[in-house]
Each structure stands twice: as C-alpha cells, then as structure tokens.
Amino acid sequence: MALRKDYTRPLDLKHGRVDMNHGAGGRASAQLIEALFARAFDNPALREGNDGAVLPAPPAGHRLVLATDAHVISPLFFPGGDIGALSVHGTVNDVAMMGAQPLYLSASFILEEGLPLADLKRIVDSMAAAAREAGVAIVTGDTKVVEQGHGDGVFINTTGAGWLPPGRRLGGDLARPGDVVLVSGPIGDHGVAVLSKRESLEFETEIVSDSAALNGLTAAMLAAVPEGSVRVLRDPTRGGLATTLNEITRQSGTGITLDEAKIPVRAQVEAACELLGLDPLYVACEGRLVAICAPDVADPLLAAMQAHPLGQQAARIGLVTDDPHRFVQMATRFGGRRVVDWLSGEQLPRIC
Amino acid sequence: MALRKDYTRPLDLKHGRVDMNHGAGGRASAQLIEALFARAFDNPALREGNDGAVLPAPPAGHRLVLATDAHVISPLFFPGGDIGALSVHGTVNDVAMMGAQPLYLSASFILEEGLPLADLKRIVDSMAAAAREAGVAIVTGDTKVVEQGHGDGVFINTTGAGWLPPGRRLGGDLARPGDVVLVSGPIGDHGVAVLSKRESLEFETEIVSDSAALNGLTAAMLAAVPEGSVRVLRDPTRGGLATTLNEITRQSGTGITLDEAKIPVRAQVEAACELLGLDPLYVACEGRLVAICAPDVADPLLAAMQAHPLGQQAARIGLVTDDPHRFVQMATRFGGRRVVDWLSGEQLPRIC
C-alpha cells in the first residue's frame, strides 16, 4: 500500500523534498505556494491570489518595458550569490538597461522532484531579499515540477516590467562614431566565481560574484547628464564584454576600439582566467554595465558612476569608431592591436 | 581533434540539433535567435534587438495586468496542440481571465542539448501562429541550453501583459451567494488527449485537446453585460474544474453547488476517464473558462458565450451559496449529493 502524504499538515521546510504533487495544481501545490512563495514575496497584488496581477496605471505618457530571463545556473549556490538573487538581478538589470525603472517581476519555477525544500526556501528567501533591495515586487508566479532526471534542481524564469519616461530612448543602434565607452567596474568576477565553485577550484583569495541590481546606478547616471546623451546601456552577461560590444557594433553599424590597459580586471580574476584558459573579455558579469555616451558627457557620467557604490571602479575603456566592418578592436598592453571577435565556441555553459 | 562547428554557415533546421553553444551567448546563440526566433515572431519591438522591449503607453487610466506560466508538458506534441501553442494560450488566458486584453508576451526557452532543431522549429512556428491568432506579439525572449539529462526537450515560460480598463475588477474573492456558475464548454478534453498520447492509448474516436486562446470570448462576454456583473473568470487548468471552484470558494468565503447533469463532458472523454480511473472534474482544460456572474445577467451572458465559436456548448452548471465551510458540493445524476474536494493527490503530472 502506498503511503498517502497528508498535505493538510504543515510543510516540512527542514527535511521535506519536492514531489510531483507539488506541481499538480491541487492541495499540495496550494500548500507550497502559501507556506513558501506567498509568505516570502508578500505584496498586495500577489495576495489577491488570482491568475494574474493587477498593477497601477503608469504616469501619463510612460511606456511599458518588458524583459525576461530564464536562469539555469549550476551550481545553485556560488560565492557571492545564488540562483534566487541572480534571477532578480538579471531581469531587473535588463529592464534598467532600457532606461526604465523596474517595478514588477513575475517568477516561475521549474522544480525537479527530490529537491530539498530547505534549498528551495533558501533560494526563495534570497529572491525576496534581492527584490526588496532592488525596490521591485514579485507580483505573480507559477510552479511546475518535473520528474527526477528531467530537470536540474531548480530553473527560475523572471520577467520584469517597468515604466519608461516620455522622450527617453536607449538602444544598441544609437552608438555613433566619437562616442565614449565606459564600464562600471571590473569584469569577469561572476563567471570565475561560478566556475571555481563548479570545478571545486581553490584560489588564494576567494573570488566573489558581482551579481547585483543596477537600477539604482542607472537612475543616478541618467539623472546626471542631459536626456539623449547616454546612447546605450547594456550589462555584459553571457559572452562577456566582448560579445556585448560586438552586439552593439552590429546593431549600430559602427566599430569600437578598446584600450586593454584601461579595462578593469581584478588581479585574482586575471590569474584564475590564465589558469583556466579563459579570456576575461568573454567571461560573464552580473552586476556590471557598459555605457556608451556622447563625448561631452563622458566625464560627468563617469563621475556619477564612480560616486555610486556599484560604480566606484568605473572606467573609460574605449571609443566608438566609423568602421564598415563593425569590428571591435583592442590596443593591447604590449602596443599591438587585435580584433576582439564574437565568442564563437562555448566559454562557460550554464553561467546564468 | 574535435570538429569545430561553423556557426557562420546557415543553421541546419532539418537535421541539426541543439548544442551547448546555442546557449552560451556568442555567435551560435545569435544565429539561433536570428534564424529561428526573430524570423518566426517578427515585430517592431523584437526587431530592436535590445535587452528588453519598449512598448506603447496604455490608454489613460488603464492598469497593467501581468501573468506568467512555465510549460513543461510531456509529450511536446499531442492531439490538438503542442507545447508552443499551449504556452501562448495558457498565458493569454490568464491575462484575459483578469478582464484585460492581452497584448504582449515574453517567451523564454530552456532547451535540452540534443533537441532536434526541426522539433524546435515546429514548436516555434506553432507559437507564432497561436500568437497571431490571439492578437498578441512576442516582444522579448531568452534562450538557455542545459546538458542532456538535465532538462526534457524544451520548457517554455511565457509572461503576458495587457491593459485593464478603468473601473473593471474581476477576482475569485468577488463571488457572492446567489451568483450563477457557467462553464464555456465540455471539460477534460485537454488532459485526456495528452494522457492518451503519453500512454499510447487508442480510443475509437481521437480525443483532441481544447487548447485555445480565450481572449476573444472574454471580450465578447464582458461587452454583453454591465460592468461588475461578471464577478470571476477563471480557466480550469491543472486540477480541473473541481480545483478551480475550490480556489474560488476559498477566496470568496462562499460555497458552490453543482448540478452534475448540467456539466458538459464529451462521451468519449467520460469513457476514457472511466478506463483510466480519472474523474473528469479534476482533468485539465486549456481552452475553457468558468464564469461566475450576478443572477440577473446569467441568461444574456450564457447567450453571448454560446454565440462565440469557443463557447457554443456553454452551460449553466451551478450556484454560489452561503456556506461557512466553503464546500463545493454536487447534486449527482443519481439524486445524491457529494462534496467535491480539492485534488489532494496527483491526477496528471506535466499536463501543461
């Protein structure tokens, strides 16, 4: 006789595990949602308990920005973060890079049967803390469960919504020759932190992910200079700085020249990359941004970045050029010049 | 020597397979997005190619509705549908059930290494067709790849956004004693169609999923009766009609009595359920809705439903009652009465 679980008893968040019933839509699903998600994310829209969330009308003329990300990072917990916080940061940042203020997130979970509920609680609590810190509310969600061996612990999708003020437009197509390329801090920390944990590598100093919500930084930047003078904001996640810049030259029909000596990379990240055969230019960040701006605002914009806790090590790293080949090129520290191409193989799988 | 794939050659959508590079954010990712997703979903917001989509401001006073769903259905293709169309219908319906007009979807994909690109193309084309038919645009997206054995073909998250007109409010908490319960058509088709395919069962007549976008039906319903007289709209997906009604009685603090003889169930669905040991009341629909309305509009609302192609078999199936126990009860065809409880075990895993 099969033991029938009793879903009227409290959820055992210490020793329990996710089972298929938690995804079946019945009493077990309701219990998981109430005891875990609703409690951690609590807000008026979510509390309504309907199929979707009703949110306030925007200020007049404000447009809607939507961005979405699936998070499949492995391992789930890494130095400086976890999949929960990352799933908030990743999507908040995508909305912020459009120049909008992120306000609302949806969150959907694909859980693997057997996942310890204690791990799930830790992840959900981390998401809730990250959302509070970023000033966004998780207003609607969904939970599915797949059989053991058909998932990998937990995958989290978040979709973010925010309002874009009238007259503001940022986008990769707006870069133009003469514009200045800035980066908000050292690159590659996130990718190296995740890889070192995954491969159980030990470095003398622990490298910690840079995972962070950048909406405070972008708001400060956009307030510091005239509307229109910031052309592009983008966070160099998968594929790293090199790929992000190649996307921008492709969108805008320009080239970019970088000055290698100016690109901030922590010494221990550089050392780890050397050991691992990685190029930091291609390693993902989750709390850095690239800004491309009109030359006359580069100094005040850089100053605004450096005045913010998440931009203290911001630097001017290159220039947008007139280049029909749309190449990203780099003046190396040794006085040479090389093309920084798209990532064409696999740098780091499941890094976000 | 490992063969290095050439991602500058066209994507082989006939014989190719998803590999880890398609999720790494470099050239292979860009190729997959351009050759497959961008082409199928093409629209101005998506074409911008930025981290998120910028969408128009709503009409004055309109509120934002957001809803999200992860889709993990197995098998990916089933009679009457596939995971692609389903992922559009599921989320469009959640937005529509709030009384809003769904307009925009985000789509994010978690692909398993080895998935045939031909299957992915079929799914993406089906999504695109479903979105066109429902009048929504897929405006932003994301793609991740996980190693073979860590996913299951493809999981799709969609998040929907739409605008809710001023003064409109629907919700499970608004049901009140005396209100009438309507259903838009026969229940259980979707669940039985999926299960029959999964278990390779053959019935005399093929049972086809009811998967459909209901936003046209809800718009027609809401236009037919005075604002406020429709209290609740909800689609009985996972957990079926029984679970949906229990959610509503819990939210509103009421009871519901159903008349079993009035609940439309196709004869072949009933026969299949009997064979499989399932109760149709708990079997998921993906193209049906439950409406709870004021008694004086029940007739015109039912007429509006029956006049719509997706509501031709709509029926009045029960009444909201004053019941402190918040029970859903049913007068059976044999003159008895039984409590229709929450689904407490697992009816059908991975049905959506």
pLDDT tens, A97-138? 999 999 999 999 999 999 999 999 999 999 999 999 999 999
DSSP per residue, B5-62 = P-TTSPP-TTT-B--GGGGSSSHHHHHHIIIIIIHHH--HHHHT-SSSEEEPPPSTTP
Whether B202 shows a pLDDT value over 50: the answer reads yes
Closest approach of A142 to chain B, Cα-based (Å): 6
Q: Which residues of chain B does A342 touch, with a Cβ-Cβ cutoff of 8 Å? A: 26-27, 30
Q: Please list the residue range(s) of chain B that carry CATH number 3.90.650.10.
A: 172-339
Alpha-carbon distance A259 to A261, whole Å? 6
Instruction: Tell me the residue type at B62.
Output: H
pLDDT score of B27: 87
Q: Are strands A290-293 and A180-183 parallel, antiparallel or unpaired?
A: antiparallel
Compute the nearest-CA separation of A16 from chain B (Å): 17
Preferred mutation among A157, A288, A348 to probe B, highest tally of B CBs within 10 A: A157
Do the chains contact at A142 and B70, CB–CB below 8 Å?
A: yes
Where exactly does CATH 3.30.1330.10 map onto chain B? Answer: 20-164
Q: Tokens 């019941």 identify what position? A: B323
Q: What pLDDT, on a 0 to 100 scale, did the predictor assign at position A17?
A: 97
Two tokens, residue B251: 């939210």
State whether B104 and A50 contact (CB < 8 Å). Answer: no
Q: Are B183 and B82 in contact (CB under 8 A)?
A: no
Helices B298-306 and B215-224: crossing angle, nearest 10°?
140
Domain span(s) for CATH 3.30.1330.10 in chain A: 20-53+62-164
C-alpha A352 chain-centroid distance:
8
Give the burial class of A223: count Cβ atoms within 10 A of its Cβ; 0-12 exposed, 13-18 middle, 19 or more buried: exposed
Instruction: Look at A347 and B24 and tell me if their CB atoms are within 8 Å.
Output: yes
pLDDT tens per residue across all 352 residues of chain A: 344 566 778 899 999 999 999 998 888 899 999 999 999 999 999 999 888 999 999 999 999 999 999 999 999 999 999 999 999 999 999 999 999 999 999 999 999 999 999 999 999 999 999 999 999 999 999 999 999 999 999 999 999 999 999 999 999 999 999 999 999 999 999 999 999 998 888 776 789 999 999 999 999 999 999 999 999 999 999 999 999 999 999 999 999 999 999 999 999 999 999 988 899 999 999 999 999 999 999 999 999 999 999 999 999 999 999 999 999 999 999 999 999 998 776 668 899 9
Provide the 10 A C-beta neighbour count for residue B55. Answer: 20
Pull the structure tokens for residue A92. Answer: 């908040």
A-B interface: how many C-beta pairs under 8 angstroms? 296
- What span, in angstroms and rounded, lies between the C-alpha atoms of B173 and A48? 8
Instruction: Give the whole-angstrom CA distance, residue B31 versus residue B33.
Output: 5
CATH H-level superfamily of B20-164: PurM-like, N-terminal domain (3.30.1330.10)
Sign of CA dihedral B261, B262, B266, B269: negative
Alpha-carbon distance A314 to A317, whole Å? 9
The fold of A20-53+62-164 is 60s Ribosomal Protein L30; Chain: A; (3.30.1330)
A172 at the B interface (CB within 8 A)?
A: yes
Q: Residues of B with CB below 8 A from A157's CB? A: 68, 70, 108, 142, 157, 159
Of the candidates B81, B337, B35, B20, the one whose C-alpha atom is nearest the C-alpha of residue B208 is: B81
For residue B346, what pLDDT is reported? Answer: 66
Res B228: pLDDT: 98
pLDDT value of residue A108: 98
Contact A161 B64 (CB under 8 A): yes
Per-residue confidence (pLDDT) for residue B51, from 0 to 100: 86
CATH architecture of A172-339: Alpha-Beta Complex (3.90)
Chain B residues within 8 A of A152 when measuring between CB atoms = 146, 150-151
